[in-house]
Structure 1
């Protein structure tokens, strides 16, 4: 959800520059089941535009209507939305609606934390009672400091009558695509729809640039030995798509001391085994955890044939590995959809 909150901050800043006020709506509690879980947020602008969503589209109109009083008074409030009789989701949502006016000091620290790939927390103070209660609102904890999302709240004051929804926000999930062929472009396009940060790595002689990869935030044409690896962490997935055995091996050697959550290899199982065999020969002390992160052939078995379908397959596998899930049809899953 980090990338969604990042987009909310960006969109609110654009609106502010145009003189348009913003309201933040956050699902802070849930009884029963719903389309999405607590922690999902959306932004409502004074001109009626909405960024993001907290459901499949059925709750948003009510939030837009309820936000009008917050725009007028500046006072935060809680609304409840009972979907048991309207949505079929069998759940009651508790939604915090508040003015969204983070100051410049927050934005500076926030974007620095994103760039440095640091985690942060969002603390939302709420009450399930819909009556006005003092102290409602959200704060962001970054590097031990609290920043209010409301400009008038300068100091965090504890109200023992309020509940707190605390949400851990990891660095934005990142996908590193090593390769610049047509299939890499397709994977980039589809991964961009998830909101991931996408970096493209190609060989030093590559003539393409970042404009050839819709959704990518960076492009580097470097040799494997000169590839920067310090920003690769456990919120990073890597897919090797050079279509060259020797180059894939060189990149794996360069990556050996990193800890990505996922490394995907193209090609059949025999190619993977040959790559791993030579990798271990070159790097006999390589960590077992690194080897366990390597998946090949990349993707899950959904009958993919085209580059676009293969991209969907790879993205699905990355999600399943990152979320520690076994891919199955939801119709065959027992119990709740979300854990």
Structure 2
């Protein structure tokens, strides 16, 4: 998410300066690579790069290709085969072991449906969206359609095609991606051509609600900001909950616990951390959050504190099932030996990321399988009439 935010800002700056830009997007990967499909990099005509499509080994060549795309005003698909042991082709030691497809599109600022404009539209609200990018793997020298369709939950569909059977299939698959909450790659064979579509799910930024405006909440907001998360700090103490103390937070609210939820928008990317160091405030927040089954609620403090809070709520008559408690994490954070507030913030942010990604948060060294599922690399083909 942070990458998309940075790319949009860089594009806006380039427009003010009157500079041309091109967008490089990883659209397909076979095997191992530093970045996965959906990774993006904006290239400015003066060589400024925003975002990344690799660990740095592909950027130099991609810059040259992007400048060519700007001159020709034509999208191009570039293949980097890092399985070849002869890395002299690119003049670098790649260290990866995969085949990476990069689509480079020159950006026409006059086109309201250019890829960056669509990303701007996505960032303007907190809705899941889908962006469809079409390309030809078999005939890379041919015209590459590029970014061609965009839609969000309950929103209009941007993009249209002369081939109505292709349009119908892409819209149906975009809706399926929204439903399944997972991107897909599919090849569409028509009587005229064969095109591959990267149908990408775009998720809103994580919305982190921090109950507590103490000094230990400051590094948590700062780390969340680095990730592009949107943070809201709430507390009942006006001298603590100030914009001056939390300059990177999107909102700082001086409110009682029962006033918090009406002032924020809840969705499946919203997470909470309760760290006011005020037992009654945290308990009041937990009382409201438990029935909602939020994706993640972290509670700072020892396990006995959380157990006491839950017992108190049950004594009040609240029925708590195992399902209700699945999203409650206390003591909050991964076990990394944290002591300082900065280290605790790192542990908390890491745990939130692991939970939202449905990962265990264990060392990659101990992972038995590859880091990224090879199932994601399979391309299913459909034939359209």
TM-score (norm 2): 0.79
Contact 2:233 2:241 in 1 (8 A): no
Which residue does the alignment assign to 1:100? 107
Question: Following the alignment from structure 2 to structure 1, what is the Cα–Cα distance between the partners of residues 98 and 121?
Answer: 37
Matches within 5 A, 1:82-161: 82-84=81-83, 85=85, 86-101=93-108, 103-104=111-112, 114=123, 116-129=125-138, 131-139=140-148, 140-142=150-152, 143-147=154-158, 158=166, 160-161=193-194
Question: Following the alignment from structure 2 to structure 1, what is the Cα–Cα distance between the partners of residues 198 and 254?
Answer: 44
Which residue does the alignment assign to 1:61? 60
Contact 1:80 1:130 in 2 (8 A): no
SS of 1:162 mapped into structure 2: strand
CA shift for structure 1 position 256: 3.8
CA shift for structure 1 position 41: 0.8
| Partner residue of 1:306 out of 315, 324, 340 | 340
Instruction: Give the unaligned 5+ runs of structure 2.
Output: 86-92, 167-191, 374-385
| RMSD over equivalenced CA pairs, Å | 2.5
Residues 127-171 of structure 1: CA deviation (Å, up to 9, x unaligned): 2246432242113223453446xxxxx757557421001111122
Matched, 1:173 2:184: no
Matches within 5 A, 1:1-339: 2-84=1-83, 85=85, 86-101=93-108, 103-104=111-112, 114=123, 116-129=125-138, 131-139=140-148, 140-142=150-152, 143-147=154-158, 158=166, 160-229=193-262, 231-282=265-316, 284-285=318-319, 288-339=322-373
SS of 1:61 mapped into structure 2: helix
Runs of at least 4 residues of structure 1 off by over 6 A? 105-110
CA shift for structure 1 position 327: 2.1
Instruction: Give the unaligned 5+ runs of structure 1.
Output: 149-153
Question: Following the alignment from structure 1 to structure 2, what is the Cα–Cα distance between the partners of residues 193 and 156?
Answer: 42
SS of 1:200 mapped into structure 2: strand
Question: Following the alignment from structure 1 to structure 2, what is the Cα–Cα distance between the partners of residues 252 and 288?
Answer: 15
Larger CA deviation: 263-272 vs 230-239: 230-239
Question: Following the alignment from structure 2 to structure 1, what is the Cα–Cα distance between the partners of residues 323 and 349?
Answer: 21
Alignment coverage as a number of residue pairs: 333
Which residue does the alignment assign to 1:151? none
Question: Following the alignment from structure 1 to structure 2, what is the Cα–Cα distance between the partners of residues 70 and 281?
Answer: 67
SS of 2:26 mapped into structure 1: strand
SS of 2:194 mapped into structure 1: coil
Question: Following the alignment from structure 2 to structure 1, what is the Cα–Cα distance between the partners of residues 123 and 62?
Answer: 29
The structure with higher relative contact order (CA 8 Å, sep 6+) is: 2
CA shift for structure 1 position 316: 1.3
TM-score (norm 1): 0.89
Judged with a 3 Å threshold, the aligned counterparts in structure 2 of structure 1 residues 261 and 299 are, in CA distance, closer, same or farther, namely same
Larger CA deviation: 295-304 vs 277-286: 277-286
Contact 1:78 1:130 in 2 (8 A): no
